[in-house]
Structure 1
Amino acid sequence: MGHREDLLDGAKRCLLEKGFARTTARDIVRESGANLASIGYHYGSKDALLAEAYVALVEEQAERFDWDAGAAGTPPGSHERLRATMRTLADSLKRPDSIWHLSIEIIAMGDRLPEIRRNLALAQRSGGRGLAALLLGIPEEKVDDDLTDTVGNFAMVLLTGLIAQNSLDPDGTPTGDQLADGLLRLVAGPAPEGGR
């Protein structure tokens, strides 16, 4: 492995241990075995390196989870698939290896990190494309810009809100079934008088 990869691996370990704001360039150097100047040479800045490390952690977590397992056998675009996908999202917050708490820290720091916001926005869009594929039961390469802009963006807004709520009130965070029920009720409109 070269210095670039060593730095990225060291930055990932630092993020998991200390978070974004408390990680210093010296922490990354100590963790990676690289030298201080190599951060600027390979990544431009400590913040850019940490942003790339965060995106890599999210991608690794997505690969570890079998996101489609809960939705397997459910018809594409069905209520059952929505429910299974919402369960997977909500359950992912409770896993001991979840890195979603880092998302809240990065969102809160976003205005102070204008040079890396664009890269994080691209990663967000890519995540939305993946979630749209999962919700609709289609290969990711079939998710066009329109589906990404609608279904994908909706799913990312929902996930971001779920992460925020879980950070503030883990016991009050809705389950996947509650999320699916809420969305389906919203789409169905109000129940007739006297009905549910």
Structure 2
Amino acid sequence: MGHREDLLEGAKRCLLAKGFVRTTARDIVKESGTNLASIGYHYGSKDALLAEAYLALVAELSEAFDGDGAADSATAPGSVERFREVWSNIIGTMRGPGSMWRLSIEIVAMGDQLPVVRDHLARQQRDAERALVALFTGVPEDEIPDSTLDTLGRFYTTLMTGLIAQWNFDPERAPDADALTEGLCQLMEAASRK
């Protein structure tokens, strides 16, 4: 690995151990075995490196969102069963102590102290919406129109953000996939009566 990759791996370990605010450039250098100048050369700033490290952690974790990737009739894209399955997989990544999703809460709460990180991640939000819509609907990412991202994409990211908050704040009472799916079914039933 070169310095760029070493820095990214070191930053990922620092984020998981200390979070955004408490991680210093020196922490990253120590963890990665590189030097301070490498951060600026490869990433521009410590905060830009931390943002990239966070995105890399999410990308690694998001592989679990689709489970084994099988698309059988029980989990047809766009179905209620698919909704339950995907949320079950996502919630599975939130369970247990030390979930990396606490970093998302830190950005929400401390974003004004980390404007470079917040802005970098905000620019990536559209890609996250696109990936979630594709995961639930089975539509290839490059075929999803912006109008769908503005509605369904934001709906899924809002659910995701709420789940992250609940699982970090009160994991004992946070909803599981069955509760989310039942809530969706109740909402659809109520909407169909009008």
Please report the TM-score for the alignment, with normalisation by the length of structure 1: 0.87
Per the alignment, residue 58 of structure 1 pairs with: 58
Q: Which region of structure 1 is more displaced relative to structure 2, 37-46 or 160-169? A: 37-46
The residue type equivalent to 2:59 in the other structure is: E
The 1:55–1:133 alpha-carbon spacing in structure 2 relative to 1, beyond 3 Å, is: same
Per the alignment, residue 117 of structure 1 pairs with: 118
1:76 matches 2:77 = yes
Output the CA distance in 1 between the equivalents of 2:190 and 2:70.
26
Deviation per CA, 1:72-114: give whole Å up to 9, x if none.
3222222222222222222221167742111111221212222
The 1:151–1:77 alpha-carbon spacing in structure 2 relative to 1, beyond 3 Å, is: same
Deviation at 1:68, TM superposition (A): 4.9
The residue type equivalent to 2:44 in the other structure is: G
The 1:162–1:9 alpha-carbon spacing in structure 2 relative to 1, beyond 3 Å, is: same
Matched residue SS, 2:172: helix
The residue type equivalent to 1:154 in the other structure is: F
Deviation at 1:128, TM superposition (A): 1.4
The residue type equivalent to 1:67 in the other structure is: D
Per the alignment, residue 35 of structure 1 pairs with: 35
Output the CA distance in 2 between the equivalents of 1:191 and 1:154.
19
Alignment of 1:16-31 (within 5 A): 16-31=16-31
Output the CA distance in 1 between the equivalents of 2:65 and 2:113.
34
1:106 matches 2:107 = yes
Output the CA distance in 1 between the equivalents of 2:152 and 2:70.
17
Per the alignment, residue 67 of structure 1 pairs with: 66
Deviation at 1:44, TM superposition (A): 1.9
Per the alignment, residue 141 of structure 2 pairs with: 140
Deviation at 1:188, TM superposition (A): 2.2
Alignment of 1:172-187 (within 5 A): 172-187=173-188
Output the CA distance in 1 between the equivalents of 2:149 and 2:182.
23
Matched residue SS, 1:171: coil
Q: Tell me the number of residue pairs that the alignment of Structure 1 and Structure 2 aligns.
A: 191
The residue type equivalent to 2:26 in the other structure is: R
Per the alignment, residue 86 of structure 1 pairs with: 87
Q: Which region of structure 1 is more displaced relative to structure 2, 160-169 or 76-85? A: 76-85
Q: Which region of structure 1 is more displaced relative to structure 2, 69-78 or 137-146? A: 69-78
The residue type equivalent to 2:171 in the other structure is: P
The 1:35–1:21 alpha-carbon spacing in structure 2 relative to 1, beyond 3 Å, is: same
Please report the TM-score for the alignment, with normalisation by the length of structure 2: 0.88
User: Sequence identity of aligned pairs in percent?
Assistant: 58
Give ranges in structure 2 of 5+ residues lacking alignment: none
Contact 1:71-1:85 at 8 Å conserved across structures: no
The residue type equivalent to 2:53 in the other structure is: A
Output the CA distance in 2 between the equivalents of 1:190 and 1:44.
50
1:152 matches 2:153 = yes
Deviation at 1:119, TM superposition (A): 2.0
Matched residue SS, 1:187: helix
Contact 2:94-2:167 at 8 Å conserved across structures: yes
Give ranges in structure 1 of 5+ residues lacking alignment: none
